[in-house]
Chain A
Amino acid sequence: MVDTVAGSGMPALFGARGYPPALEWIARRAEAFVIPLAALIVGMALFSLFILAVGKSPILLYETMWRGGFGSWFSVQNSLSRAAPLLLAALCVALPARLGLVVIGGEGAIVLGGVGAAAIGVALSGAPSFIVILAMGVAGMAAGGIWIGAVGALRHYRAVNETISSLLLAYIAIALMNQLVEGPLRDPASLNKPSTQPLADIYRIGNIPGMDVHWGLVVGVLACIISWVLIEKTRWGFAARIAGGNVRAAQVQGLAVGPLIVGFTALAGGFAGLAGMLEVAAVQGSANASLAAGYGYTGILVAFLARHNPLAIIPVAILLGGIDASGGLIQRRMDLPDATVLVLQGMIFIIILLSETFYGRFKAFNPDLWKRPDLVRGTA
């Protein structure tokens, strides 16, 4: 498909000048598809070797993975349900990344968003359901937004490294949740698994009609689209991209880098908090330790795989949701540990990062070089 068009054989057919504009258009964009796709395939191939080395069949593994993730309507719905929080968790990494920040503590925002939403939901019980659900969404976004916004503020105003501070804050958030859920917010009826009081059924978010997938998927997809428009089509997004390229240059241009960083990180945290709210309102029905299920960490991988492009996050999150969903089946059918999926994710992650080194190296993706052989050398 795309990669055959962009392959090195094609330009030669057309001679030195006069390539069809469509071909150039495709070639320029193909790089962003071909390199991550190739990296994904290489990562999966390496994982096959790993599976062979532990004495199992990689073919059976990928077949099981397909069956568990996308093989039936039931498994597709399961994958889509898992993709919903991943979409929002990935935005928590991708939005700051466009400003040049590596924020990896989305898990903390998810957890606090869930606790905040549950607290509001219980406190407002008796009010009309749409008000309560709206308030829960706002509370979740606010809790997550403050948490990650603080990371951005510390980064800009105190030069505190955002990667480390966000992860420390994630540990603190989980401790805070345990304290709240076992203390002031605890439902006395929850014995084995301390939880907040369960939400009344009318305050829970239901499924998309005709599917066994909750509305969180739609919210996540909308959030990705909004983020894409924000980054690509608004002046704030433009300013953010400049600041992400070079902070000094942005400051010289008179851009308010501080508010930009705090705003973007707060929005990113808000999305992650919303993921926590959805987990509470659509899945768990109350806030408890299940909120720290690792979506924040898988979200990091999703964002990097999508190269921090909010639209690309949508298919990648569904793919990773499918891989996640197949974990149980792999464990049962192949007698492999549940961490098998983690190993695959780690391998893909490393190869994807390594593939960064190949951007701009292939002549096929750069039509300027087709016409100017003299430029081929010395373009790093």
Chain B
Amino acid sequence: MDATEIGLWGVPLAILGGAIRVSTPFIFVSLGEAITERSGRINLGLEGTLVFGAMTAYAVAVMTGSPWLGLLAAAFAGLCFGLFHGWICKFPRVNDIAIGIALMLFGSGLAFFFGKPFIKPKAPNLPAIPFGGWSDTPQVQAALDVNVLFLIGAVLSVILWWAFRNTRAGLIVRVVGDSSDAARAMGLNPDTVRLLATGVGGALAGIGGAYLSLYYPGSWTERISSGQGLMAVALVIFARWNPLGCFAAALLFGGAGALGPALQSVGVTQGYYLFYAAPYILTLIIMIATSSPTRSLAGAPGELSITK
């Protein structure tokens, strides 16, 4: 039953399983951030939204006994945070990045404040689908236990990719993101579009938080998020604001995050903390490799302050 039974094959298998498990919050947060950034704003506060979403989902699941109600509540809480960010940023000279930092602190603070009584009780988890049922090897079964949210995230990234290209709403978001003036000339109000885009982005980040507390790691603690909300922002840049790219990048990050535990499961304990830092190092390397001082990033929304 132990990992040595399938030898070193356990490592790639554990990484695959880990990539699926760890990547889900990245998928939702990065898709949300992609929508927000496509509209020309950046919301760094998604980290706080993620933590608050995790707490809300867990608290509601404990109180009602339904993880799905918890998920819904987290999405609603995320929506509120997003709308708040979107509303406050419309005032002249209010910096969207700085407001994001403030919301990061505020969201975490509120989550810790209200989450204190929920550290102890156990909430029902979101269900997973056992795709590994055909195998007798427990490692394979564990790796292919796929949560429903992962599948929803995968479908959502395809839908968003299609919607950005082919729907009126997708076009409106892109126009507003590329040029406020062009949008105004078309009779669109950029502030309203950004408000809605940030709201939807916040709701998706809330769902990502719900996954953290209701499935993996599956409990509410004050250390539930280790910067996923923030890495997602970097990930969106890497994915060139393309939802399909976000999905692929999230898988890559999930795999990097699973590296440490996977190696530990086969007995490699040296440098555990450095492997733990692998996703951050990977993010940084990718940012260095894909940024350039002389040309603007391909596919970058023109109004985005982070690329100006």
Contacts and interface: CB of A to CB of B under 8 A. Distances in A.
Contact of A342 (B98, B108, B274, B287): B108
Interface string B72-109: 00000000000000001001111101110111011111
Contact of A171 (B94, B99, B227, B233): B227
B270 to A, nearest CB: 8
13 contacts: A104-B101, A156-B293, A157-B293, A160-B291, A161-B234, A163-B97, A338-B112, A339-B110, A343-B110, A346-B103, A353-B99, A354-B88, A356-B93
A50 B98 CA distance: 23
A156, A157, A163, A165 pick with most chain B CB within 10 angstroms: A163
B148 interface: no
B277 interface: yes
A159 B290 CA distance: 10
A172 B276 CA distance: 9
B128 interface: no
A171 to B, nearest CB: 4
Contacts of A369: none
B274 A165 contact: no
Nearest to B284: A168
B103, B106, B110 pick with most chain A CB within 10 angstroms: B106
B281 interface: yes
A102 B233 CA distance: 15
A344 B288 CA distance: 36
A350 B102 contact: yes
A126 B28 CA distance: 55
Interface stretch (A11-19, A236-244, A296-304): A296-304
A234 interface: no
Interface in A132-166: 154, 156-161, 163-165
Contacts of B281: 172
A178 interface: yes
A380 B93 CA distance: 11
B165 interface: no
Interface residues of B, number: 45
Contacts of B276: 175
A288 to B, nearest CB: 14
A342 B276 CA distance: 27
A223 interface: no
A272 interface: no
Nearest to B294: A159
B283 interface: yes
Contacts of A338: 112
Contacts of A179: 271-274
Contacts of A104: 101
B105 A342 contact: yes
A167 B110 contact: no
B216 interface: no
A176 B107 CA distance: 27
A349 interface: yes
A75 to B, nearest CB: 22
Nearest to B92: A357
B109 A345 contact: yes
A164, A182, A336, A338 pick with most chain B CB within 10 angstroms: A164
B231 interface: yes
Contact of B113 (A175, A182, A342): A342
Contacts of A161: 234, 237, 287, 291, 306
